[in-house]
Every structure is written in C-alpha cells, then in structure tokens.
Amino acid sequence: MRIAVTGATGNVGIALLSALTGAGHEVVGLARRPPRRHPPGPDRAAAERPVEQWAGVEWHSVDLTRAPGSVLRQAFRDADAVVHLAWGFQPTHDEAYLERLALGGTREVLAAVADSGVRHLLHMSSMGAYSPRPPDTAYDEVAATEDWPTDGVPTSPYSRHKAAAEKMLDGFRAEHPEVLITRMRPVVIGQRPAVAGVLRYTLPALVPAGAIRLAKVLPLDRDLRLQLVHADDVADAYRRAIEARAPGPFNLAADPVLTPADIADALGARHVHVPFQALRAAADLSWRAHLQQVDAGWLDMAWQLPRLDSTRASVHLGWQPHKDGRVVLREVVAGIREGAYGATPILRERRVSDGVLKALTGRPVARRRKP
C-alpha cells in the first residue's frame, strides 16, 4: 500500500516509518524539515533510529501554516491512506500560531484528502480530546471508553485544539462519507529516540538534561496518576488499522497506571506530597514569567482526565502493547541520563549552548514565532 504520513519526523512519525517500511509498504513522508540522508553526530544518533532504514521513503517538505495545498495534493496522489500526525507543542506563548498549525493544518490536510481521492484518513487525536472526569470522581473510579465526551479540558489550549479537530473530523465525515476515518487517542507517548525533542519543549533551555540526576525530591500530589504507551506500540496500532481498514476511534494505553511513587523510583528520587493547586500555581506563575515553557493546562489534563480503556483496540485490531508503562518510563529516564536523541531535525541532540544562543538572540522556543 502507498501511505502518506504528515509529521513523519516526530516522536510517533519515526516509529511509524519503521513499522510501515518494515511491513513492505510504500511510504511518503511529509515534514517541515525532512531528515538528512546521513544524520550528524556520533554513531549513537544513527543507532537510535537509522535513517538508512527509510531509504525508500519519498520525502516532501511542507509547512502546514503556509498554504500547503499543492504540496499536500502532490504527496497524497495515489495514496491508499493518509496518516495525519503533524501537531505543534511550542511556542505556548503564541497560541494563535499553535491554532493555525493544529486546526488550520488539519483543515488543509482534510481538503487535500478530499481533492486527491484518498479513501482512508487516520488522524492522531489524543487523550487530551476527552472531557474531564465528573467533579469529585477519583481517577480509579472510571475508565473511559471511546464514547466518552470529547469536549476537551477548557483550561488547556492543547486539549481545546484536539477536541476542535475531532469536531472538524465529524463535519468532514458527514460531507465525505466515502472516506474511512480512523482516530487514535493515545495516552502520553514515550521512546528513547524522542527524549531530546521532548526535553527541548519542556525543560528550560539553560538547564542541562543531566541536572535531572541531581533531583532527589519529586514534588507531586499523591493522587496524580499517569498512563504511558511506547511509540512503537502506537505505530503498530496504526499499521494494523491501515491494513485492516478499521474505522472509528481507538484508545491506546499500556498498563499499569503509574503513581508518583513509580515515577520517583524511576528517577531515583523521593516523592514528597505537594497539593495539586500549589503545583499548578507555581507552574502557571513560572510560565507567565517565561521561566519555563509548559503552561498549566498540561497539569490540568493530567489531573482531570479519566483513565483510558483500550479494549476496543484489542478486540478490533488485535492490538496489545509490547512494553508496559513502567518499561516505557524507565526507557525515557535512561535516555535522559544518557543524552539520547534521534536522527531527524526535530529530535536532534539537545545542547545547552544552543539554548544560550537562542536566549541571546531573542529566539527561545517558548517565544519564537515561526514564519
């Protein structure tokens, strides 16, 4: 099959390229910055996810915020399926840009799918599309299946955009019933090669990743819970849905649900209970002061969203995660400690020197504006 993938160089994208090419599919990769033939840096960069494995991928450079219609239609020509992964996480202080990329970009992809006669669209939604648990409901009291409301968490721009994209898909499905639509709703996705990219968007640029080794205390609310899934397992779900032409939404999560004690154990730290509202206030104030680039909406999602039930993916796709949540967490933590990074520009090695340069030139990730 011929499959086009937007956001092909990101966390899920690199795993999906490997899954699809490994299964013998013809793949078209779309990204703002396609990878080089030979990645820079020491051998471990190539070892994280070798570019040579994608030698047969047809690459297209595209910016979804800049009238990409002609490039998309060219890339989607003769495609049996389109996988839309592209999304933005920074700069969080420029929500208008993030909305143009998330919703404007999705709108452009949908239009190109319709114009190109593509019969199967697979969209990367998220647990963030779901509505919060009812007030005063404990995390373990509910398990959300795919019929849980998808109105998002109002205080999170990321969540609002994911929910709005789902409604956009609803409208597209009504207008184009000939197009099969699959929606993946994974929990937090982790893998070793994506560590540098995630840290670039979450850790202040002037703080070295190695500083995490020095953190001996983990301040979190004791009632916080977290679900993880490995990027390779998410890619496997996509491959299965493409080959089976399976429609509808699918939750993707691995057991077990992680507690603050689990996270502290992986970090080699001691968990200290700090009430959620105190943590949120500190995160919000430091974000507004540009001391760190993660808005408080991300904490709100972690605190308010329900636990996801992945039974539907198991029944209809035969999907089971190969790595449990604790294994994913340990892989990510080990990657942070070892300075892991991937072979694509967005997952490149994270250097504090780059953060210093961007700070001096007024272009930190949390504030820069894309062209």
pLDDT of residue 197: 84
pLDDT of residue 112: 97
Tell whether 256 is covered by a domain.
yes
Question: What are the distances in angstroms from CA 191 to CA 46, 122, 183, 346?
Answer: 15, 21, 21, 14
Answer positive or negative: Cα dihedral of 9, 12, 14, 20.
negative
Task: Report how many domains make up the chain.
Answer: 1
Tell whether 366 is covered by a domain.
no
Q: Which domain holds residue 291?
A: 2-360
pLDDT of residue 337: 86
DSSP-derived pairing of the beta strands 270-273 and 217-220: parallel
Tell whether 368 is covered by a domain.
no
Tell whether 239 is covered by a domain.
yes
Q: Would you call 235 helix, strand, or coil by DSSP?
A: helix
pLDDT of residue 360: 52
194: which DSSP letter?
G
pLDDT of residue 20: 96
Reported as type and span, the H/E element at residue 242 is: helix 231-244
| Cβ atoms 116, 77 nearer than 8 A | yes
| Cβ atoms 85, 16 nearer than 8 A | yes
Tell whether 127 is covered by a domain.
yes
| Cβ atoms 41, 15 nearer than 8 A | no
Q: Would you call 292 helix, strand, or coil by DSSP?
A: coil
| Cβ atoms 197, 338 nearer than 8 A | no
pLDDT of residue 254: 98
| DSSP-assigned letters across all residues of 82-149 | EEE-------TT-HHHHHIIIIIHHHHHHHHHHHHT--EEEEE--GGGSPPPPTT--GGG-EE-TTS-
**Could you say which residues of the chain have pLDDT below 70?**
37-53, 205-206, 209-211, 352-371
Angle between helices 157-175 and 297-304 (to 10 degrees): 70
pTM: 0.91
**Structure-block tokens of residue 279:** 């943590």
pLDDT of residue 44: 47
Q: What is the largest CA-CA distance in the chain?
A: 55
Tell whether 264 is covered by a domain.
yes
pLDDT of residue 41: 46
Tell whether 275 is covered by a domain.
yes
Q: Which residues contact 1 (CB under 8 A, 6 or more apart)?
A: 25, 26, 80, 81, 242, 243
pLDDT of residue 150: 97
Tell whether 240 is covered by a domain.
yes
The CATH number of the domain holding residue 163 is 3.40.50.720
